[in-house]
Amino acid sequence: MSPLERLAIVLAGLLGASGVAAAAGSSHAGAALLGPYSLIALTHAPAVLALALAPLPKIFNWALIALMIGAFLFCGDLALRYFAGASPLPLLAPAGGMMLIAGWLFVFIGGLFGRRG
């Protein structure tokens, strides 16, 4: 297992666990910031895990990296806002969202042009 794959599996586990916790917090405590957190975490955790474990062309590594960075930035910003009341860098969530979009575009490109080998 490569270091990238190991990191991705660890992050997928963290995203999944924190996403479930955020969903519970959003549902039971009415914390508005935790709803979007749980949505991003719980939709991207399985995608990151699948990209880490599947034998795919190398272009998908770019998708994996972009999705990991994007989810980390987006969820990190929302968590900082929830727990600290503010984020030190207010553009982290939008930057994370752009990375998530880029990651999914890499999946698209990999699906069109990627070759096994």
Q: What is the pLDDT of residue 13?
A: 97
CA 53 to each of CA 5, 21, 50, 94: distance values in angstroms, whole numbers, following the listed order: 7, 25, 5, 28
Structure-token match 């949505």, residue found? 39
Percent of the chain with pLDDT over 90: 70
Does position 30 have pLDDT exceeding 80, yes or no? no
Residue 117 has pLDDT above 60, yes or no: no
Which residue in the block uniquely carries the two structure tokens 């900082």?
A: 80
> Residue 111 corresponds to which tokens in the numbers above?
């699906």
Q: Report the alpha-carbon distance of residue 105 to residue 63 in Å, rounded.
A: 8
Q: What is the dihedral of CA 111, 74, 89, 6, to 10 degrees?
A: -70
The reported pTM is 0.90
